[in-house]
Amino acid sequence: MGATISLDYITHRFSRGAAPTLEKIENRIEPGEMVALIGRSGCGKSTLLHMLAGLLIPSEGCVRVNGHQVSRPSAKWNMMFQKASLYPWMSVRENAALGLLFSGMAKTEAFSRVDELLEMLGLHDKRDVNVQSLSGGQQQRVALARSLATDPEILLLDEPFSALDAFTRTALQEEVPAICRDLDITMVIVTHDIDEAIAMADRVMIMSQNPGRIVGELDVELPWPRRHMDAGFQSLRDQLMTQFKDTDDGLAGRKAITETTDDDAENAA
């Protein structure tokens, strides 16, 4: 079941007395909603996502899931990163089943559950191979299976497709929202890519930099699957660009943003 996420007045400083990285972030994400978070590099998107995952605790305010304050990571809200970060000493199946094994489930049961997911993601013939022999897209699918195996209420994605080729990326941009709708998972995706945001989300939030704030929002009411060439898509794209320009003088920097992959916040936890 999807969960409600509320961001209660979150302010964060990485060190005491420093300028806030995030300031007074307030929002509410409904069960099953899919939200994209866009903003310039370094504005604090990853930091905010780590807080949703319980991997980082805000210095002021809090994240609540279904009303309960998030204070530690949990397999109920899973995060996927730009790198798949699979464990090379485990098979595809073991990687995907890891969360279930951590929860104490017997191996046979965990594997049979995971096999369904691998089947759905087109990996069933790869389940016993070494993960190092998979392509980047296949690895990211295994990471997706790993995140879905524990039956999460929330899926958090931090630029998960930016290292993939265009074909694989487009395919996953379609598949992931479909899976989330199917399984009724609340999804938050951080991205640099405005098209990806529109392709995957019900709502796009725009973040400003220094300090990071949510400065704009746009509802995406397009039918699935979304086609980049559709008139509706194009007009949303224009609206988003305009909002981005209004709220952040960084439109000129957008091209540069898309290139950045560096991510300090990933080491924060």
Partner 1 sequence: MSTQTTQALSGANGAQVNLAPVISWLAALRYPAIGITTLLALWWLGGYVVANDPDMWAFANFAPAPTFSALYDLVASGDIWPTIVSSLYRVLIGLFWGVVIGVPVGVLIGYVGTAMKIANVPFQFLRMISPLAWMPIAVLAFATWDAAIIFLLVMATVWPIMFSTAHGVRRIDPNWFKVAKNLGASGPQMLRRIILPAIMTDVMAGIRLAVGVAWVVLVPAEYLGVTSGLGYAINDARDTLAYDTLAAIVLVIGLIGYGLDTICGLLIKRFNWHVE
Ligand X SMILES: Nc1ncnc2c1ncn2[C@@H]1O[C@H](COP(=O)(O)OP(=O)(O)OP(=O)(O)O)[C@@H](O)[C@H]1O
- Kindly state the smallest distance separating residue 89's Cβ from partner 1, in Å: 4
The two structure tokens encoding residue 11: 């302010």
How many other C-beta atoms can be found within 10 angstroms of the C-beta atom of residue 167? 9
- Report which of 193, 160, 156, 170 is spatially closest to residue 41, judged by C-alpha positions: 193
Find the helix packing angle between 92-102 and 107-120, rounded to 10°: 130
Which of ligand X, partner 1, Mg ion, none sits in contact with 101, Cβ below 5 to 8 A by type? partner 1
Count of residues that interact with ligand X, criterion CB under 6 A:
18
Which residues contact residue 181 at a Cβ distance below 8 angstroms, ignoring those fewer than 6 apart?
32, 34, 224
Site membership for ligand X, residue 264 (CB under 6 A): yes
How many other C-beta atoms can be found within 10 angstroms of the C-beta atom of residue 122? 12
- Kindly state the smallest distance separating residue 88's Cβ from partner 1, in Å: 5
Give residue number: closest CB to Mg ion.
46
- Kindly state the smallest distance separating residue 264's Cβ from Mg ion, in Å: 8
Q: Are 23 and 213 in contact (CB under 8 A)?
A: yes
- Interatomic CA distance for residues 80 and 173, integer angstroms: 14
Which of partner 1, Mg ion, ligand X, none sits in contact with 269, Cβ below 5 to 8 A by type? partner 1
Encoded amino acid at 80, one letter: M
Site membership for ligand X, residue 41 (CB under 6 A): yes
Percentages (nearest 5) of helix, strand, coil residues in the chain: 40, 20, 35
Pick 168 or 260: Cβ nearer ligand X: 260
- Interatomic CA distance for residues 242 and 188, integer angstroms: 22
Count of residues that interact with Mg ion, criterion CB under 5 A:
2
Q: By CB under 6 A, what part of segment 43-82 binds ligand X?
A: 43-47
- Kindly state the smallest distance separating residue 86's Cβ from Mg ion, in Å: 20
- Interatomic CA distance for residues 226 and 237, integer angstroms: 13
Which of Mg ion, partner 1, ligand X, none sits in contact with 21, Cβ below 5 to 8 A by type? ligand X
Site membership for partner 1, residue 117 (CB under 8 A): no
Find the helix packing angle between 92-102 and 136-149, rounded to 10°: 20
- Interatomic CA distance for residues 39 and 187, integer angstroms: 17
Q: By CB under 8 A, what part of segment 72-101 binds partner 1?
A: 73-75, 78-79, 81, 83, 85, 87-90, 98-99, 101
Pick 94 or 263: Cβ nearer Mg ion: 263
Binding mask 183-212 for ligand X (x = CB under 6 A): ---------x--------------------
Give φ, ψ of 155 to 5 degrees.
Answer: -120, 125
Q: Can you give the binding site for ligand X, defined by CB under 6 A? A: 14, 21, 39, 41-47, 192, 260, 262-265, 267-268
Q: Can you give the binding site for partner 1, defined by CB under 8 A? A: 53, 55, 73-75, 78-79, 81, 83, 85, 87-90, 98-99, 101-103, 130, 132-133, 146, 150, 266-267, 269
Q: Can you give the binding site for Mg ion, defined by CB under 5 A? A: 46, 263
